[in-house]
Amino acid sequence: MSQALLHSFATQQACNEALTQQLAACIAQDLQTQNKASILLPGGNTPAGLLAQLQQLALPWADITVSPTDERWVAGDSDYSNAQMLRQALPHAQLIDPRLSETAQASSVAWAQALQTQKPFAATVLGMGGDGHIASLFPGMPNLIPSLQYAELPDALVGLAPDEPKVRLSLNLAMLCATGYLAVLVFGDAKRQMLDRVLANDPTTQALPIYHLLWHAPLPVQIYWAP
């Protein structure tokens, strides 16, 4: 049975504001109990407004660690880099850049190790592609099935995207769900139609990464959607 909860908003601004306030509460709770907090945030275009809102929060960012849910294997200062986007948006936070070694495979190992000390995360926010991918877990890519199993150890892996830059680093579902709060931020009618099909248990969606997240995650998935 799916534990997903859908929160619909009239505007992207309202959606971002609501999620920002929720993330602030999650961060504040961890700061109060353990004097530090960590969050995983998505890349791409969708979180731009969310990051702008987070930037305005009066939080002790030096005590907050952020890392992307996934990364493109590009130069660290590339406009395509999710870590670079987080670095620019939240310059005072402690950033764990997935690009920790000279090769993608070695970086995935080092990144997973670096995140072990941050678990459980205060919050994880994911995006979703129109093809049903989350993080850089793409339908049909090599080694996808193990990365979707919650019984696996929390880890990172090298993924393969259908478009350039194809080589990606991604956290597996076990790592993404090692969190106190799990959200998916989605905009647009086409993606809403995809979500509706997944939530209706449409058999044609059951191989998709988003299906595995919404139907099998060990904690409720909070979906934040706006047109």
**In what order do the strands lie in the sheet containing 156-160?**
70-72, 167-171, 156-160
pLDDT, residue 1, reads 79
Is 132 a member of any domain?
yes
CB proximity list for 96: less than 8 A, separation 6 or greater:
65, 66, 67, 111, 114, 115, 118
Environment class of residue 140 by beta-carbon count within 10 Å: exposed (0-12), middle (13-18) or buried (19+)? exposed
Predicted TM-score of the model (pTM): 0.98
Task: Indicate which CATH number applies to the domain containing 95.
Answer: 3.40.50.1360
Is 206 a member of any domain?
no
Is 214 a member of any domain?
no
Q: Domains in the chain: how many in total?
A: 1
3-state secondary structure of 120: coil
Is 218 a member of any domain?
no
- Residue pair 91/62 in contact by the 8 Å Cβ criterion: no
How far apart CA 189 and CA 108 sit, in angstroms, is 34
**In what order do the strands lie in the sheet containing 5-8?**
5-8, 221-226, 182-187, 123-126, 37-41, 64-68, 94-95
How far apart CA 83 and CA 96 sit, in angstroms, is 8
Is 41 a member of any domain?
yes
Q: What is the mean pLDDT of each run of 10 residues along the chain (227 residues)?
A: 95 98 98 96 96 96 98 96 97 98 98 97 98 98 96 97 96 98 98 98 98 98 98
Provide the residue range defining the domain that includes 65.
Answer: 12-181
Is 139 a member of any domain?
yes
Is 168 a member of any domain?
yes
Is 163 a member of any domain?
yes
- At residue 224, what are phi and psi to the nearest 5 degrees? -105, 115
How far apart CA 32 and CA 42 sit, in angstroms, is 25
- E-strand stretches of 61-137: 64-68, 70-72, 94-95, 123-126
H or E element that contains 11: none
- Residue pair 186/127 in contact by the 8 Å Cβ criterion: yes
